[in-house]
Structure 1
Amino acid sequence: MPTKSLRILLAAERHEQVLHLEQMLNRLGYFRVAPVHSFEQLLTMVESAIEPFDLLIANSDLARRAGVDLPRFCQGNPEIRHALLYQSAELELPDLSDSQGAINVSLTQLPDIDTLKSFMDAVDSPQDARANGIAKLGLRLNRRRYVGRTTS
């Protein structure tokens, strides 16, 4: 059962993207959302976090312009449990039913409400969502397991 109390960090340079994502998350029942508009702000939020962010949703270009590989940054960062990273183009999703640990996802475009809902289901109640065959949507999710890290 989803808890809807995940701590979510949104990062994109374009205000309308952050606003759109925040509104979709609010419609899905997620209200603990912190928006940032630069990699420097993202870094400040992550470094000063009292508890880890359950999810980072970010435009990869934001970090690339700052000279940072965002997938690698997320993978090695204990303050980010899961990541949904996007750029711009076509989507597709592998079967997550056997995945354990953190989920990292890279999309080629800003996620729509159905994509975001499916991902939130996987992050917020991993066993239920994975058992229901999340791969039916046709999205491309690249997941990485974190050595020595656990997720709830």
Structure 2
Amino acid sequence: MFEGYYGIAPVSSLEEMLTLLEYGDTAFDLVLINARLTLNVRFNLLAFCLDHPLIRQAFIYDVPEYRLARLGAQVKTRIVFSSMQLPEGVPIKQLIHKVDPPMLNEPAHKTVSHL
């Protein structure tokens, strides 16, 4: 369990992420995705995250600075972009509270995937 979340499913490639989400049947409340997984392929990560029924919210990190401005113009409430290379420690706690603010009567556990 991590910060009240469970169901952590680390993957190391775009193919693994797609397989996990294609054959999965459990939605992820928060998916952490390294943007560099898609740098060398034509893949619209934003559209994928917005359209996929198993991704409720996504944090896409390690986004190159030149892409942040363009993505910032497409700000979506469910998707957060960052140039941070690796979210961990205090920044990951702040991220979770930013992406998934505490609410009254919320479930004790959530699912999260770090891709």
Measure, in 2, the Cα distance between the counterparts of 1:65 and 1:89: 13
The one-letter code of the counterpart of 2:41 is: A
Q: Give the Å deviation of 1:87.
A: 1.1
* Identical aligned residues as a percent: 33
Measure, in 1, the Cα distance between the counterparts of 2:5 and 2:42: 31
Match of 2:91 in 1: 115
Q: Is the 8 A contact 2:30 2:59 kept in 1?
A: yes
**Greater CA deviation, 43-52 or 63-72?**
63-72
**TM-score, normalising length: structure 1:** 0.51
1:85 paired residue among 46, 60, 76 = 60
Q: Is the 8 A contact 1:64 1:70 kept in 2?
A: no
Q: Give the Å deviation of 1:103.
A: 2.1
Asked if 1:34 corresponds to 2:25, the answer is no
**Greater CA deviation, 53-62 or 29-38?**
29-38
Q: Give the Å deviation of 1:102.
A: 5.3
Match of 1:50 in 2: 25
Deviations 1:44-79 (A, max 9, x none): 001111121111101111023232121221012111
The one-letter code of the counterpart of 1:60 is: A
Aligned residue pairs, count: 93
Measure, in 1, the Cα distance between the counterparts of 2:6 and 2:27: 16
Measure, in 2, the Cα distance between the counterparts of 1:29 and 1:66: 34
Counterpart secondary structure, 2:29: strand
**Greater CA deviation, 60-69 or 115-124?**
115-124
Residue ranges of structure 1 left out of the alignment (5+ in a row): 5-25, 91-100, 129-152
Match of 1:23 in 2: none
**TM-score, normalising length: structure 2:** 0.66
- Higher relative contact order, structure no. (Cα contacts within 8 Å, ≥ 6 residues apart): 2
RMSD of equivalent CA atoms: 2.7
